[in-house]
Amino acid sequence: MSDATVRMRMARVEGAQLAHLVDDFRELVGADRDVEDPAIVRLVPDPYPEDDEASRAFRDATRDDLLDRRALDADIMRTALAGMRGDIGDMTQSEAFTEHDIDIPLSDVDAWMRTLTALRLVIAERLGIQSDDDHDPEDARYGVYDWLGYRLELTIEAADQLL
């Protein structure tokens, strides 16, 4: 079953946009990360919200390993999306909306799900989304957040079909 793959179908413009988002995310969690950035803080869980000292000690002990893992996960996605890269502005409408298959080895699916989830957390932080009440589906800025949720759902459904 090691040869099993999840096939994701997406338009070239979607793949290019996703590749761009993953590149930005990779830069955010890369070696020169700003651990004070609220998006980075949101990516690092706080298991002791009632105990500042314990929370700080936990974050200090686990943050770098967790963010390094997120960077490796993003690299897995970057590799899979390599063929989808391109300048969106240079694509004809036909090129932009032509659908392509991306085959994701089953062993890489968890990295995709973690990265899509992390991207949503970063965007939620940037938009100030803390709960469903903070999300305005009529506001176009939330479209990428929703689209990443849709892509995450498709990834989960495709993986479930193989299991």
- Listing DSSP states for 73-111 in one string gives HHHHHHHHTGGG-S-GGGS-HHHHH-EEEEEEEGGGHHH
Q: Which residues contact 38 (CB under 8 A, 6 or more apart)?
A: 125
The pair of structure tokens assigned to 77 is 């996605």
CA distance 163 to 4: 10
Is pLDDT of 1 > 50?
Answer: no
Residue 85: its pLDDT value, please? 83
Is pLDDT of 13 > 60?
Answer: yes
Q: Per-domain residue ranges for the chain?
A: 5-162
CA distance 18 to 81: 8
- Lowest-pLDDT range of 21-30, 43-52, 65-74, 130-139: 130-139
Q: How many CA atoms lie within 13 A of 102 on its CB side?
A: 30
| pLDDT (mean) for 131-160 | 88
Is pLDDT of 127 > 50?
Answer: yes
Is pLDDT of 137 > 80?
Answer: no
Residue 2: its pLDDT value, please? 55
| pLDDT (mean) for 124-153 | 88
CA 40 centroid distance within chain = 13
CA distance 75 to 156: 19
pTM: 0.90
